[in-house]
Amino acid sequence: MRLRLEEKIFYGWVMVVTCLIVASTLWGIRFSFGVFFKSLESEFVLNRATTSSLFSAYMLFCAIFAVLGGWAVDRYGPRIIVLLLGLFTGFSLLLASQTNSLWQLFLSYSLLLGIGTGPSYTALLSTVSRWFEKKRGFALGIVFSGVALGTIVVSPFAAYLISNLGWRMSYIVLGLAAWFVVISLSRLLRRDPSEVGALPDGAKLETSGTGAEGKEENPKSTGFSLLQAFRTRSFWLLFVVWVFLAFCQTLMLTHIVPHATDMGIATMKAATVLSITGGFNILSSLLTGRVSDIVGRKIPGIVCSLLLAVALVGLIWAGELWMLYLVAVVFGLAWGGLGVIATALSADIFGGRNLGVIMGTLNMAWCIGAAIGPFVGGLVFDVSSSYSMAFAIGAAIMLVTALLVTLTRWEATAEIE
C-alpha cells in the first residue's frame, strides 16, 4: 500500500502535511504562553518582568537545543528527534501543572519545554527544505504556517480550558495532546527524497551505471559546512534578521493579551487577536512562499519588514478592539512572510548537506531575540505602566531589518573564495 501511494504522490507532500501538523502542535503550545500569562502572574505573585522571564529563559534554552537538534537531525534523521520532542513537550507541561514555586516553573517549563520545542523549527523546516528546490518557498510556507495555525487553535483552546478548568488542568490537557499528536506522526518522517528513490520535487533517481550523478544531486551531499557558513556575510546578516524578527514577534505575541486586558477587553476576546494574527500569518506564509519562488526572496522580505514596523507603530495608537484587529491583520501578514523568506534564503544559500546544524544556529539567533523581546516588554511596562516605548523600539528594529534583507546576497559562494 505504501509503495503504491508513493508512486502516485510525491512523498515530499506527505512530509509537508506531517510537519505542518507537528509544527502547529508544538508552536501552538509555545505561543500560548501569553494566554497563561496573568494566571501565572497571579498564582505566584509576580510582576510582569519576572513573569516574562519564564518565557525568556525558555527561549534561551531553545537556543541551545536548536543547535544540538540541528546536528542530531543531520546525523540521525528527523524521525527519532521529533519523537523525543513530543516526549519532552508532554512531560514538561504535565510537570509544570504540579509546580508550587517559581524555580520549579523555570525547571519544568523553561528548561524541559525548551528541550521539547527548541529543535522543532530546525528539525521540521530543514527536513522539508531537502525535499524541494523549485517549490521550496511554497513547501516551507505551508509548514511555517503551522506557527499561525497552532496559535489560532491552541491559544483560544487554552483560554477556554483556563476559564473552565484552571491553568493547571489546561497544561495537563495540552501535554497529553502533544504526546498523542507528535509521537504518532513522527513515524511518518523521512530524512530526504533518496529514502523513497527520488530527487527534490519528485524527480526519479537514476539507477544505471555507477550512480555517481544521482549521488551528486542528492541534497544531503552538497552545501556548506557550518564553518564555511560562518565565513560568509550573508550568514551573519540572516543571524541578525532572525534576532530582530523574534524580538518583535514574541514582544507582540507575549504582551498583546495583557495589553488588551489592560484596556478593559475580556480575555477571550483578547485571545481572538492572536487568532486573527495567526489566520493572516497562514495566508501570508502560503502566498509569500509561492511568490518568492517566482520573483525572488528579497523584495517580499523587504516589504514584510516594513509592514511589521507599521503594525508595531499601530499598537501604540490602538485604543479599541477593532483597532487591535486591524493591527493583527497587518502583523500576521508581515510576520508569516518574513519568516518564510528568511528560512528559504538559508536553504537557497547554504545547501542541504549540513542544513540542520546551520538552521539550528540561525534558529539560536531567533531564540535569543525571542528571549529578549518579552523581557524588554515586561520591563518597559513595569517602569512606565505602558507598552508604548517597547512597541516603538520594535518598529525601529524592523526598519533596520529591511536594510539587512537588502544587503543579503543570494549566493554566498563568492564570499568564501
- Model confidence pLDDT, tens digit, residues 226-235: 898 898 998 9
Q: At a CB cut-off of 8 Å and minimum separation 6, what does 206 contact?
A: 213, 214
pLDDT reading at 201 higher than 80: no
pLDDT score for 264: 83
408: left (phi over 0), alpha (psi -120 to 50) or beta: beta
Q: Return d(Cα 26, Cα 182) in angstroms, integer.
A: 8
Contact status, residue 31 vs residue 274, Cβ threshold 8 Å = yes
Is residue 363 situated within a structural domain? yes
Closest CA to 275 of 290, 262, 256: 256
User: What angle do the packed helices 120-131 and 78-96 form, to 10 degrees?
Assistant: 150
Distances (CA, A) of 59 to 243, 309, 367: 12, 23, 5
Cell of 164: 473552565
**Beta bridge partner(s), residue 204:** 198
Q: What is the average per-residue pLDDT within 166-195?
A: 92
CATH code for the domain of 190: 1.20.1250.20
For residue 165, how many other CB atoms are within 10 A of its CB? 13
Closest CA to 288 of 363, 362, 350, 339: 339
- Each residue of 390-412: b (16+ CB within 10 Å) or e? bbebbbebbeebbebbeebeeeb
Closest CA to 114 of 58, 73, 172, 185: 58
Residue-number span of the structural domain to which 343 is assigned = 2-199+220-412
Cell of 48: 510582569
pLDDT reading at 123 higher than 80: yes
Is residue 172 situated within a structural domain? yes
Contact status, residue 73 vs residue 123, Cβ threshold 8 Å = yes
pLDDT reading at 182 higher than 50: yes
Distances (CA, A) of 406 to 230, 238, 299, 332, 344: 19, 11, 8, 22, 15
Q: What is the pLDDT of residues 331-369, one digit of tens each?
A: 988 988 898 888 888 888 887 677 888 888 888 888 888
Closest CA to 39 of 177, 221, 170: 170
Q: Return d(Cα 226, Cα 228) in angstroms, integer.
A: 5
**Beta bridge partner(s), residue 198:** 204
Q: Return d(Cα 352, Cα 344) in angstroms, integer.
A: 12
Radius of gyration of the chain (CA): 21
pLDDT score for 353: 72
Is residue 25 situated within a structural domain? yes
Coil, strand or helix at 204: strand
For 269, how many CA atoms within 13 A lie in the half-sphere containing its CB? 14
Reported pTM: 0.74
Is residue 206 situated within a structural domain? no
Is residue 298 situated within a structural domain? yes
pLDDT score for 42: 87
Secondary structure in 3-state letters for 276-311: HHHHHHHHHHHHHHHHHHHHCCHHHHHHHHHHHHHH
Is residue 210 situated within a structural domain? no
Contact status, residue 318 vs residue 366, Cβ threshold 8 Å = no
Is residue 91 situated within a structural domain? yes
For the ranges 5-9, 111-115, 200-204, 397-401, which has the lowest average pLDDT?
A: 5-9
Is residue 94 situated within a structural domain? yes
Amino acid at 275: S
Query: Which residue, chain included where needed, has cell 539560536?
Result: 364
pLDDT score for 400: 95
Please state the domain count of the chain.
1
